[in-house]
Chain A
Amino acid sequence: MSYIIQGDTGDWEVIVGLEVHAQVSSQAKLFSGSPTAFGAGPNSQVSLIDAAMPGMLPVINGYCIEQAVKTGLGLNAKINKTSVFERKNYFYADLPQGYQISQYLHPVVGEGIVTVDLADGTTRDIGVERLHMEQDAGKSMHDQDPKRSFIDLNRAGVCLMEIVTKPDIRSPEEAGAFVRKLRSILRYLGTCDGNMEQGSMRADVNVSVRKVGEEGYRTRAEIKNVNSVRFIMQAIEIEAERQVDIHESGGEIVQETRLMDPVKGETRSMRAKEFAHDYRYFPDPDLLPLELTDAFIEGLRKTLPELPDAKKQRFMDDMGLSAKDASALVADRESAEYFEAVAAASDPKKAANWVTNDLFGALNKAGLAIADSPISAAHLSKLLGLMDDGTISGKIAKDVFEIMWETSGDPEQIVEDKGLKQITDTGAIEAAVDAAIASNPEQADEIRQGNDKAIGWFVGQIMKATQGKANPQQVNQLLREKLKG
């Protein structure tokens, strides 16, 4: 499914690389002991190190190192046993140090691979160029006062992982799939909460276009700080169209930083100042190189959970699920755990059906996450059990599901209270069948004359009369015996 932009001069393809910033879920910042929690009062989570007071020295947070390495392992990437923190120099009001401590020539993680799942059921490998650790900057607010910008340094110094892809992405869909997959992996690993609304994950999107069949890359533009999957996909569409128009009208793309305006549906230049990209990196003299031992790396490898790709494969191989169901179930860790709890005591395929159709459908409709599901995995599992042992029919199970959704109740209790147990007593069903035949002699005659279609109608009548509690197969059989036997 290639993504082609039809221009006046021919077909164009889009080349995309992403730089995803993912906030490490740590208690304290990368080089100071101040907290990282979201939503605190302005400048209440700032140490004198974060505020860059003279004489303050950074000391690295060991937990952040572990999370970066863990993430690297989760991305099937090479871990560099020596990496170096450097100073990236630039001036901005929310960067009190005048430089960001980052990694440049020697990042902690090298090349890796992320396999993304596409809508048509195929997968594609997107190369990861590197992952490095760096400090976040503070936050500027420009709309509080006509003459001043307000600065809050709470975010300053929070540990980010910058994950850079190779220019392997060829469509908005692939970009979206990459970000969703990366977020899923980070959440499985627990290294980043992946919360894009709160800014724990955001992306810079590098876009260029070229004629289909053309070798090499044309000049690219970078769209900064895009904070949702939808906007990332939209930014690529808009920017690619813009570049095609410029190329076709004989213009030139300027290598620059642009901003996405989702309201106007356009990207616009940030008019970056001349020299702005001359960061004059050099090794931070306050920090020694980061040395990792094999024992440290292997110790972390042992703590890795089963990741979505492996889980998907297991669901398909061991449980016989379809690729589509397996993908939907492993997309986030909570869903996968929920499904496994349900499937533990019943047929996995049936469990997958109920979870992906009934439960996910209801959750979507209500805008709820799986963690907020009114129906617990234990209860759903019990419901499937009631069907398996013939206590209730599939149809009644749907009704019980509705009640469970409303009340969070125990299905066994609901079936008991509402008297929904399937009638297995043949005598009772026979009585219902006889009553139906007696009160509908014309339809009964039709069946006797060979019109089998009327059997279905009768089954419906009898199910209605028994409030759905009769076993439809049993009813069907009895009807045939009585009218045709």
Chain B
Amino acid sequence: MSLDKNDVRRVAFLARIKVDEADLEPVAQDLNNIIGWVEQLAEVDTDGVEPMTGAAGMVMTRRDDVVTDGGDPEKVLSNAPDRVGDFYTVPKVVE
């Protein structure tokens, strides 16, 4: 797998990261180096190994359905740059 300039432009847009036009090519090169490095994993023989999403040999912990949090808008809003009352505000979202 390898990325070209257009892939990088698209991925950068999706991630809302600004990448200057001049930097697209070198970033693509960097990313391709990383992908190539990770792709070495494909050399491992995984025939008959169950696919998995994590390596922790444990069952997911569950919480009880009990209210233990909330009730403190001051804490939640303490970093809000532009609060109005107990609301966060953001530049107007059109539609």
Query: Could you list which residues of chain A lie within 8 angstroms of chain B, going by C-beta atoms?
Result: 26-28, 32-35, 41-49, 51, 59-65, 84, 89, 91-93, 140-142, 144-153, 270-271, 275, 278, 280, 283, 285, 287-291
Chain A residues with CB below 8 A from B84, complex form: 144-145, 148, 150
Chain B residues with CB below 8 A from A91, complex form: 16
Cα distance, A283 to B53, chains bound together (Å): 7
Cα distance, A34 to B65, chains bound together (Å): 10
Decide if B64 is an interface residue (CB 8 Å cutoff).
yes
Cα distance, A153 to B72, chains bound together (Å): 12
CB of A280 within 8 A of CB of B67, answer no
Q: Which single residue of chain B is at the shortest CB-CB distance from A291?
A: B59
CB of A291 within 8 A of CB of B87, answer no
Decide if B48 is an interface residue (CB 8 Å cutoff).
no
CB of A149 within 8 A of CB of B73, answer no
CB of A43 within 8 A of CB of B73, answer yes
CB of A145 within 8 A of CB of B53, answer no
User: Smallest distance from the beta carbon of A256 to chain B beta carbons, Å?
Assistant: 13
Cα distance, A34 to B69, chains bound together (Å): 4
Helix, strand, loop or mixed for chain A's interface? Answer: loop
Other A-B pairs, 9, CB within 8 Å; known A59-B62, A59-B63: A26-B65, A27-B65, A27-B67, A46-B73, A140-B93, A151-B88, A152-B86, A152-B87, A285-B54
CB of B70 within 8 A of CB of A62, answer no
Cα distance, A183 to B86, chains bound together (Å): 34
User: Smallest distance from the beta carbon of A369 to chain B beta carbons, Å?
Assistant: 26
Q: A148-B90, A149-B90, A270-B95 are in contact. Are A33 and B76 (CB under 8 A)?
A: no
CB of B89 within 8 A of CB of A151, answer yes
Cα distance, A265 to B64, chains bound together (Å): 45
User: Smallest distance from the beta carbon of B93 to chain A beta carbons, Å?
Assistant: 5
Cα distance, A467 to B88, chains bound together (Å): 69
CB of B87 within 8 A of CB of A271, answer no
CB of A33 within 8 A of CB of B69, answer yes
CB of A33 within 8 A of CB of B66, answer yes
CB of A147 within 8 A of CB of B92, answer yes
Chain B residues with CB below 8 A from A59, complex form: 61-63
Q: Which single residue of chain B is at the shortest CB-CB distance from A59?
A: B63
CB of A271 within 8 A of CB of B95, answer yes
Chain A residues with CB below 8 A from B72, complex form: 44
Cα distance, A109 to B88, chains bound together (Å): 36
Q: A27-B66, A28-B65, A149-B90 are in contact. Are A289 and B73 (CB under 8 A)?
A: no
CB of A150 within 8 A of CB of B68, answer no
A-B contact pairs, 21 of them (CB 8 A): A28-B65, A33-B69, A34-B69, A35-B71, A42-B85, A60-B61, A61-B65, A145-B92, A147-B91, A147-B92, A148-B84, A148-B91, A148-B92, A150-B87, A151-B89, A152-B86, A153-B88, A283-B54, A288-B58, A289-B53, A291-B60
